[in-house]
Amino acid sequence: MTYDFIHRSLPMRVRFAAGSRKHLGDELDELGLGRVLVLCSPGHHVGDDIVETLGKRSVGLYPHAVMHVPTEVAEQASAKAVELGADGCVSIGGGSAIGLGKAIALKHGLPVVAVPTTYAGSEMTPVWGMTTNGRKETGRDLAVLPRSVVYDPELTTSLPVEMSVTSAFNAMAHAVEGLYAPDTDPIVSLLAEDGVRAIAAALPKLVADPGAIDPRGEVLYGAWLCGATLGATTMSLHHKLCHALGGTLNLPHAQTHTVVLPHVLAFNQSEAPAAVAALDRALPGDGDPATRLWRLEHELDAPTSLAELGMAERDIERIVAEVTARPYGNPRPVTPDDVRCILGAAWSGREPRQI
Ligand code: NAD
């Protein structure tokens, strides 16, 4: 084999253990932070517990993070951080809470410490997103990359089973596209393969016993690895499609990733033999990981059609137009007709087929 690649490691600490949230104060001390604003989503009561655990190291709680970081919310949270004299933010929650911390970091340079409670993977990336008047703008900036990530599987036992399963498929989607990314490399491939292996092996155990810590830990560990592949590579057709479906039709993030993934993978498999081989090792099957993922969704009662997520069939054309309007990388060239076929299959939920 001839090696020819560029690998970039992102500067961050990761602390991983059941109960690790109790050491959040040590992480702040390590970073020299003593006045943090805690951010979480509404109704996710864990924010209050973290404020209590941090004691004097916390200056307050902002429990209003919502999906896709509306600009008004980012501005209100930023104003609160400035008013309270915060020297950093602790984002506890899923991609929404972490996204809000990133928005504040982008504007004021305040460091973010992330405590992820879903499997979305935002904590491992320097990618920020903000939504103004229904349009989501995204960008990359190392200033938004969390300085430290504290993974505590105990915090994920409250994540409802349906959300746990779809969020884990969201994580596996990062690994799938990381494996065939234009800028993938051998380290990314190791992370991606082991991430999918850990998640696929543990998800059935998680569904059978959602309160058990070990399967939660294995899925969270896999989500970390998959998130790292997202942070290290450029995503392709699958992420482009999900971005368009979420942004244009407001479809739910994790569920949309779950439904679309097997169909895009089936489309790309013929042009991505190394990715197929890695996924076949991670998801023992018959050389067709796209169908294996689709079957796993059925076994775990996950959503399998865009129709059941509320998408109208007539909206397929809007998404075809949006996805083909601007070029992006993908292992196989994509025509409008290809996108139409992929979306048609994902909309109806039929078994993925090579187009
Ligand atoms: P989310 O953060 O919106 O969380 C979904 C819901 O689950 C919220 O109501 C939240 O309060 C609740 N929740 C979270 N953890 C919980 C727990 N342990 N127990 C009970 N309830 C819990 O959803 P998400 O899927 O994690 O994140 C989606 C968002 O993140 C999207 O806006 C997406 O674009 C963004 N994202 C960004 C990146 C990036 O690299 N920038 C990567 C992935 C996702």
Note the pLDDT tens digit of each residue in 165-218. 999 999 999 999 999 999 999 999 999 999 999 999 999 999 999 999 999 999
Letter string b/e over residues 127-150, b meaning 16 or more CB atoms within 10 A of that residue's CB? bbbbbeeeeeeeeeeeebbbbbbb
Asked if the model's pLDDT at residue 305 lies above 90, the reply is: yes
DSSP state of 70: B
Q: Which amino acid, residue 61?
A: L
Query: What whole-number distance in Å separates Cα of residue 77 and Cα of residue 97?
Result: 11
Cα–Cα dist 239/247, whole Å: 12
How high is the pLDDT of residue 1?
77
Residue 327: per-residue pLDDT: 80
Rounded average pLDDT over 343-354: 94
Q: Which atom of ligand 1 is nearest to the CA of 44?
A: 11
Q: Tell me the C-alpha distance between 112 and 98, whole Å.
A: 8
Mean pLDDT of the residues in the chain: 96
Backbone angles phi, psi at 60, to 5 degrees: 160, 180
Confidence of residue 33 (pLDDT cuts 50, 70, 90): very high
Is residue 335 pLDDT above 80, yes or no?
A: yes
**Shortest-distance atom of ligand 1 to CA 41:** 11
Q: What is the pLDDT of residue 43?
A: 86
**Per-residue pLDDT for 247 more than 90?**
no
Average pLDDT over residues 87-115: 97
Ligand 1 center–CA 237 separation, angstroms: 22
C-alpha 97/C-alpha 116 separation (Å) is 9
Locate tokens 């992006």: which residue?
Answer: 328
**pLDDT tens by residue, 290-303:** 999 999 999 999 99
Using the CB atoms, write b or e for 284-321: b if 16+ within 10 Å. ebeebbbbbbbbbbeebebbbebeebebeeebbeebbe
Best mutation site among 40, 44, 157 for ligand 1 pocket (most ligand atoms within 8 Å of CB): 44
CA 165 to chain centre: 13
328 pLDDT exceeds 90?
no
Mark 161-189 as b/e (b = at least 16 C-beta within 10 Å): ebbbbbbbbbbbbbbbbbbbbeebbeebb
CA atoms within 13 A on the CB side of 290: 25
d(CA 6, CA 161): 38
Nearest CA to ligand 1 atom 30: 95
What's the distance, Cα to Cα, between the start and end of the chain in Å? Answer: 31
Q: What is the C-alpha to C-alpha distance for residues 40 and 67, in angstroms, rounded to an integer?
A: 11
Please report the pLDDT score of residue 134 as a whole number: 75
Quote the pTM value.
0.96
138 CA → ligand 1 middle, Å: 16
Distance 120 CA to ligand 1 centre (A): 6
Q: Is 53 helix (H, G, I), strand (E, B) or coil?
A: helix
Pocket of ligand 1 (CB under 6 A): 41, 44, 67-68, 93-97, 99, 117-118, 120-122, 125, 127, 129, 155-156, 158-159, 163, 167, 230, 253-254
- Residue 124 CA: which ligand 1 atom is closest? 40
